[in-house]
Amino acid sequence: MKVVEKFVSINGEGTRAGELAAFIRFKGCNLRCTYCDTMWANEAGCDFTEMTPAEIHAYIRETGVKNVTLTGGEPLLQPEMPELLRELMADESLRVEIETNGAIAIEDFAKLRQELPARFTFTMDYKLPSSGCESGMKLENMQFLESDDTVKFVSGSMEDLDRAWELIQEYHLTERCHAYLSPIFGAIEPKDMVDYMMAHNMNDVRLQIQMHKVIWDPNERGV
């Protein structure tokens, strides 16, 4: 598996924001979002370390950290991902989250987690209009989300917020899973997003700020 980064930090967002996590970042993505902050990991010439699922598991065990975030790039593009999930979910000490971009079908992975001794979770992006990639979204993924999963709407404009709210209502996301709004760093004021949430009575939708971009330089790697 093509690993471009592995490190321990805090989860900057999501249901375990502020908790320690071991991050495994994989090379490559099938999208090119306008606001991507890890574009370097998607370039053909990006350096990577080839690691087996067993080696990745061994690294995670060495960290002593229970939360695991598999990210990218797009982790579900790795052919060995089912093997890695079987390896990690056999370890009862771990809690595994997959950050996926919404443009990869998750049905087979959703079926796989029904077979495993423990359940990993999805944090699935939906790419809104300002991303330039909304046409790549697989809306059929919504039906495979469970109560511990998350849909993340990275927003940079009122148009983005309108689209996010439309999808939250259409797919009953607050009843199905967690729903988060996240500002594109430097593109929209969080206060304006809160005003929008109040104006639309967005119960059970959460605003999140990327904590790692507040604690460290927004462009710093390995955090």
Which pLDDT does position 13 carry in this prediction? 86
Predicted confidence band at 214 (pLDDT cuts at 50, 70, 90)? Answer: confident
| Mean pLDDT calculated for residue range 112-133 | 95
**What's the confidence (pLDDT) of residue 12?**
84
pTM above 0.85, yes or no: yes
The pLDDT of residue 212 is 63
Q: Are 23 and 69 in contact (CB under 8 A)?
A: yes
Residues 62-109 pLDDT 10s: 999 999 999 999 999 999 999 999 999 999 999 999 999 999 999 999
Check pLDDT > 70 for residue 219.
no
pLDDT of 186 reads: 83
Question: 53-58: long-range contacts (C-beta < 8 A, 24 or more apart)?
Answer: 53/1, 53/80, 53/83, 53/84, 53/86, 53/87, 53/88, 54/87, 56/1, 56/3, 56/6, 56/24, 56/84, 56/87, 56/88, 57/84, 57/87, 57/88, 57/91
Chain mean pLDDT for the chain: 94
Residue type, 121: T
Rounded CA gap, 132 and 33, in Å? 6
Q: pLDDT value at position 42?
A: 85
Per cent of the chain over pLDDT 90 is 85
Q: What is the pLDDT of residue 43?
A: 87
Residue 191 banded pLDDT, cuts 50, 70, 90:
very high
In percent, how much of the chain has pLDDT > 70?
95
Question: Looking at residues 103-123, what average pLDDT do you find?
Answer: 95
Per-residue pLDDT for 210 more than 80? Answer: no
Mean pLDDT of 161-181: 98
Which carries the bigger pLDDT value, residue 62 or residue 213? Answer: 62
- Side-chain half-sphere exposure of 146, counting CA atoms within 13 A: 13
